[in-house]
Amino acid sequence: MSQQLQSLRGMVDLLPGKTRLWRAVESVARAHFQRSGLDEIRTPLLEPTELFNRGIGEATDVVGKEMYTFADRGDRSCSLRPEGTASVVRSAIEHGLLSQGAQKLWYAGPMFRYERPQAGRQRQFHQIGVECLGVSSARSDVEVIVLAWDLLRDLGVSGLELQINSLGTLEDRQRYRQQLVTWLEDRVDQLDTDSQQRLSTNPLRILDSKNPSTQILLADAPTLVEALSQESAKRFETVQVLLNQLAIPFQFNSRLVRGLDYYGHTAFEIVSDQLGAQATVCGGGRYDGLVQQLGGASTPAVGWALGMERLILVLEAEAAANPDGAAARLTATRVPDLYLVNRGDQAEALALRLARQLRAAGVSVELDGSSAAFAKQFKRANRSGAAWAAVIGEEEAQARQVRIKPLLKAGEEQRFELNDPAAVVAVLQTTAQNYLCPEDQR
């Protein structure tokens, strides 16, 4: 016997139970994006490596350590996309979208990074992201933050905290970089090994170090906000004023720098405490220089991305903590309206036709195809969670009838003519209204 094959480490199958939840999340997100005037864009999973070298930055961990990169048969260096923003910007430039005015776009799909797999983080992971190109105001920063905040709230995530920082302009960051490097060089022996290496390549990333001793050391380091120009500081103040006006609570986090080189001005993360410790479920910010960096005209831009794997863990924890909340309703197993029990050649043919008619009328029907004894089929019907079972056996087939039997509540069986599926639909719809709780009936 051949050895059983398994998926690669960090490449996880989405089985039907999970896929239903993912689709529910994506449906809520799609509705929010549609109401906000965003259009969907889909880019290739495989891109020229140069796109990420230039867009993300060769000194970042993503490019330097984590990308899946290889030479194709034409000896071109290719990489599986490790994030979505650079691909969206490349596409907008290539197809002339920026000449058509501001572009408000969203995307969803898999990304790839060679990291150590852990809960909520795999080597193939999935993001939903928003990119608004050609918008420059502080108000546009707040608009995309609000979109993310309201989406997460609508999904039922509680315990949210918005953390914000300003990374200023390139000039602000260069000025701050000099201050930070000078300060750190006097304390280089107190830095962890990774931070010592970053000191000469990408010192701002030291602020994002997860090493506890480095974080303690950085508590006394100069902050970027202190190096902001007057104009940058005023812009950041406007962002905070607008957030306050919208009653969105936030915390200023001077160590928030994000992991990619293209950010400037507003940077933010939305974290949740549903996993015991704070877990980032969404992050983003402004990246005004990226379009020009990738060969386009100077174009302001702002966006964010949320990680689906982390978000799903948060939603499941939320559902467990609050069984009556929105997250619990979202994660609940979907059940059919009707389970169709059938046995016998003639009965099975009639059941197939009835199932088709009821489905066309909007009824969710699970058709038992096992030809097993009625007792076994009824056990499966009860496990399905359906409110009703429909029964067609040889007796019903001869009479050209179907029996409708309630499963969730006591009640009388009813018989209907097979040539009158509308009567079955009417009974199911009437009973469904009776099963709704008062909150669902509003």
Summarize pLDDT for 132-162 with one digit per residue, the tens.
Answer: 999 999 999 999 999 999 999 999 998 899 9
What's the pLDDT score for residue 442? 34
Q: What angle, rounded to 10 degrees, do the helices at 138-155 and 230-245 form?
A: 40
What's the pLDDT score for residue 261? 64
Q: Which residue has the tokens 């000469």?
A: 200
Q: Which residues contact 243 (CB under 8 A, 6 or more apart)?
A: 142, 145, 162, 164, 250
What's the pLDDT score for residue 260? 57
What's the pLDDT score for residue 167? 92
| Domain map (residue ranges) of the chain | 16-168+228-329, 338-441
The residue ranges of the chain whose pLDDT is under 70 are 259-261, 410, 431-442
Closest CA to 272 of 163, 165, 164, 158: 158
Fold of 338-441: Rossmann fold (3.40.50)
Summarize pLDDT for 336-367 with one digit per residue, the tens.
Answer: 999 999 999 999 999 999 999 999 999 999 99
Q: Cα 49 to chain center, whole Å? A: 25
| 16-168+228-329 maps to CATH 3.40.50.300 | no
In 283-420, which ranges are continuous DSSP H helix? 290-293, 308-321, 326-331, 345-360, 374-384, 394-399
Q: Does 16-168+228-329 match 338-441 in CATH topology?
A: no
What's the pLDDT score for residue 424? 94
What's the pLDDT score for residue 437? 41
What's the pLDDT score for residue 438? 37
Closest CA to 391 of 338, 442, 432: 338
What's the pLDDT score for residue 291? 95
DSSP H/E element including 184: helix 170-185
CB-based contact 246:142 (threshold 8 Å):
yes
Provide, rounded to the nearest whole percent, the portion of the chain with pLDDT above 70: 96
